[in-house]
């Protein structure tokens, strides 16, 4: 088990990792309340600085209910935080774009993250033919 050091910058519920079959993603909360007008962009403070272990990075994504509940989009599609972002004031943020007027209450679970190992070093080998069967269909398993 890895131990992760975390500094809280706001009075919010502590991060809790449940893991197992239910989810391997960890919820993050809004560190303060935010009011959004339609198409307004704001950085939502998640109220934590986290020291990731060497060789690891965090992926941040909206929770499955974030858009339906708040009308918010994560502007980058997904967030990536590497292990060098670990200073006392390197506060994790959620860059949000509101699609409608909305309100996020302090301590609301707004996004989630997981910690993964860095991609291994790879080298690309340019070929003329891959020699594999075509799957057909972008974004599908090829079923027609």
Annotated active-site positions, please? 82
Q: What angle do CA 85, 17, 77 make, to 5 degrees?
A: 50
Tokens (6 digits) for 134: 């075509």
Residues 106, 63 contacting (CB under 8 angstroms): no
DSSP state string for 61-111: EE-TTHHHHH-EEETTSSEEEETT--STT---EEEEEESS-EEE-TT-EEE
Backbone dihedral angles phi then psi of residue 128, each to the nearest 5 degrees:
-90, -35
Cα–Cα nearest to 111, from 56, 55, 70: 70
């Amino acid at each position: 088990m890895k131990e992760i050091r975390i500094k809280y910058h706001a009075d919010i519920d502590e991060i809790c990792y449940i893991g197992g079959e239910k989810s391997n993603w960890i919820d993050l909360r809004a560190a303060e309340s935010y009011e959004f007008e339609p198409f307004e962009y704001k950085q939502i403070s998640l109220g934590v600085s986290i020291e990731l272990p060497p060789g690891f990075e965090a992926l941040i994504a909206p929770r499955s209910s974030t858009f339906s509940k708040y009308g918010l989009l994560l502007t980058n599609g997904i967030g990536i935080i590497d292990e060098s972002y670990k200073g006392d004031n390197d506060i994790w943020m959620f860059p949000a774009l509101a699609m409608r007027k909305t309100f996020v209450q302090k301590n609301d679970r707004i996004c989630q993250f997981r910690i993964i190992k860095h991609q291994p070093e790879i080298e690309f080998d340019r070929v003329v033919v891959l020699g594999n069967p075509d799957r057909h269909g972008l974004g599908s398993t090829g079923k027609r």
